[in-house]
């Protein structure tokens, strides 16, 4: 390699593209603590009080539809803050749903939207050290797919949520509003299934290019109708309006090479499709391996780690 490209050995990575890499007792932890702190400073909320959850459980139906809402006077500031939060989701999948929803109002934010951004920043203040943890495990690829049918009261579009695990580690996730209105929960679930399958196929091809051999992956879905549609070769009139997704899933899901079953573990996907109570949110956060980063006395983490050590000794 050194004879073909000019390269330099920089030893173990500590900080790259605003992402801190910390070696833990069993694996690695990725966090964006400094980037999150800078985002709080940009919003003038460095000394704000922390909040226990990122959104209210009635986040969509109340906060975004009040009649006395008025346009926010600084839309550029709103776009800057939400754009920064978008980058933060690289190591914080627990923020994916609320950030995706806030991004839908970039063109004309209201004061209630800014209130929701501030609540998210308050939650961020109390979880600055949180990040994504990776640990050794078997090379088994599992994907989980779910949707919240007609959950958006403004346009009644559904939200797709999926996450992909390589062994015990979360490597890909998404919370995204579907581009079309689904006329049934089965249709919404099937569209989510197609999106998840596209991501899973791409990851499989990437691993193959890296010469990493893995067993047949598993796609978990909790909707019997969507599973039946994926296994049924007869394309009847009631499903013709989702023909593209149907043919994609049928081509990518040949018999005996892919498994689609119901999983009780799908509860973790609620974080990607709807607002949750504090207790449920924190439980699912742990299921996604979003945990406080281990103590480190390197670089920009020193001050935060000192405060952690003082709390531990009190």
Q: Give the domain CATH number at 256.
A: 3.30.420.10
Q: How far is CA 47 from CA 92, 121, 125, 159, 301, in A?
A: 21, 11, 8, 34, 18
pLDDT at 76: 93
Beta bridge partners of 261: 220
Rounded to an integer, what distance in angstroms lies between the CA atom of residue 86 and that of residue 6?
34
Range of the domain at 35: 15-132+294-313
Using 50 as the pLDDT threshold, list the residues of the chain that sit under it. 60-65, 237, 254-257, 259, 297-314
In this structure, is residue 304 part of a structural domain? yes
Q: What is the pLDDT of residues 15-46, one digit of tens each?
A: 899 999 998 778 899 999 999 999 999 999 99
In this structure, is residue 222 part of a structural domain? yes
| 153 and 195 belong to one structural domain | yes
| 182 and 247 belong to one structural domain | yes
Q: What is the pLDDT of residues 285-295, one digit of tens each?
A: 888 888 887 76
Rounded to an integer, what distance in angstroms lies between the CA atom of residue 159 and that of residue 309?
41
| 249 and 143 belong to one structural domain | yes
% pLDDT > 90, the chain: 39
Buried b (16+ CB within 10 A) or exposed e, 282-311: eebbeebbbbebbebeeeebeebbeebeee
DSSP 8-state symbol, 110: B
* Number of domains, the chain: 2
Q: Output the six-digit token pair for 161.
A: 């949520």
In this structure, is residue 36 part of a structural domain? yes
| 99 and 47 belong to one structural domain | yes
pLDDT at 306: 46
| 108 and 152 belong to one structural domain | no
In this structure, is residue 8 part of a structural domain? no
In this structure, is residue 289 part of a structural domain? no
pLDDT at 221: 84
pLDDT at 299: 45
| 83 and 200 belong to one structural domain | no
| 149 and 259 belong to one structural domain | yes
């Amino acid at each position: 390699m050194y004879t073909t490209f000019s390269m330099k050995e920089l030893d173990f990575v500590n900080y790259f593209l605003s992402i801190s890499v910390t070696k833990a007792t069993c694996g690695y932890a990725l966090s964006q603590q400094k980037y999150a702190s800078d985002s709080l400073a940009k919003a003038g909320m460095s000394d704000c009080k922390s909040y226990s959850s990122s959104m209210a459980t009635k986040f969509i139906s109340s906060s975004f539809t009040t009649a006395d809402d008025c346009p926010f006077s600084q839309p550029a500031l709103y776009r800057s803050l939400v754009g920064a939060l978008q980058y933060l989701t690289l190591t914080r999948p627990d923020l994916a749903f609320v950030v995706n929803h806030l991004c839908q109002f970039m063109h004309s934010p209201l004061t209630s939207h800014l209130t929701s951004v501030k609540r998210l920043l308050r939650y961020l203040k109390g979880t600055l050290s949180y990040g994504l943890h990776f640990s050794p495990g078997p090379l088994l690829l599992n994907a989980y797919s779910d949707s919240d049918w007609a959950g958006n009261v403004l346009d009644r579009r559904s939200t797709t949520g999926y996450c992909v695990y390589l062994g015990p580690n979360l490597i890909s996730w998404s919370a995204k509003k579907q581009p079309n209105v689904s006329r049934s929960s089965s249709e919404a679930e099937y569209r989510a299934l197609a999106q998840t399958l596209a991501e899973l196929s791409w990851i499989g091809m990437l691993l193959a290019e890296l010469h990493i051999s893995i067993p047949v992956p598993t796609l978990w879905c909790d909707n019997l109708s969507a599973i039946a549609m994926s296994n049924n070769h007869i394309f009847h009139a009631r499903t013709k309006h989702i023909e593209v997704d149907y043919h994609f899933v049928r081509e990518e899901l040949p018999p005996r090479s892919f498994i689609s079953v119901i999983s009780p573990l799908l509860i973790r996907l609620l974080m990607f499709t709807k607002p949750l109570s504090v207790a449920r949110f924190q439980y699912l956060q742990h299921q996604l391996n979003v945990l406080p980063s281990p103590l480190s006395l390197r670089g920009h983490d020193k001050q935060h780690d000192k405060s952690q050590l003082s709390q531990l000794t009190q």
